[in-house]
Amino acid sequence: TSPEPFTNCGASNTEDAAVFGGFWFALNSPVLFPVLLVVFVALVIWLLPKIWRLIVAILDRAGRQEQTRPKVCASHGRGVSGAAATESASAAEDSAKDNIAAQIADLQKLHKDGALSDEEFQQVKARLLYC
């Protein structure tokens, strides 16, 4: 079961208690309440930009980590379950395989012509086949 109903009730009860506590404090300490309210507002104004910069830094770091992950190779069907694959995905996968096959054929021609060494040919071929 989800804990959401309990956390929502807890948050709502905490907010209600804070409002009623604030009213009680304002009525019982009419001089101290405005002073503490100004301190609280100043603290929020000072703290919000710092929290915003922290959020932006976390999102930037997550974005950089996402960019450094290896890409999923569509020609191997990774990440696509057979039952859930659509016809358009199959067509895209077939065209990707044809494209890789054509690129390998071009590599073989360059290799036969002497433009690529054996090692270079194997490296580029492996990169094409295994992303």
- pLDDT per residue as tens digits for the range 86-129: 444 455 555 666 688 888 888 899 889 988 888 888 888 888 88
76: Cβ–Cβ under 8 A, 6 or more apart, which residues?
A: 131
Q: Which domain holds residue 99?
A: 74-130
Taking the C-alpha atoms of residue 46 and residue 131, their distance in angstroms, rounded to an integer, is: 48
Residues 39 and 78 in one domain: no
**For the chain, what is the domain count?**
2
Taking the C-alpha atoms of residue 104 and residue 101, their distance in angstroms, rounded to an integer, is: 5
Residue 102 CA from chain centroid, whole number: 34
Residue with tokens 């503490």: 36
Residue with tokens 């290896």: 70
Residues 98 and 51 in one domain: no
Residues 18 and 62 in one domain: yes
- pTM summary value: 0.42
Q: What is the pLDDT of residues 39-48, one digit of tens each?
A: 999 999 999 9
Taking the C-alpha atoms of residue 83 and residue 2, their distance in angstroms, rounded to an integer, is: 29
Residues 38 and 88 in one domain: no
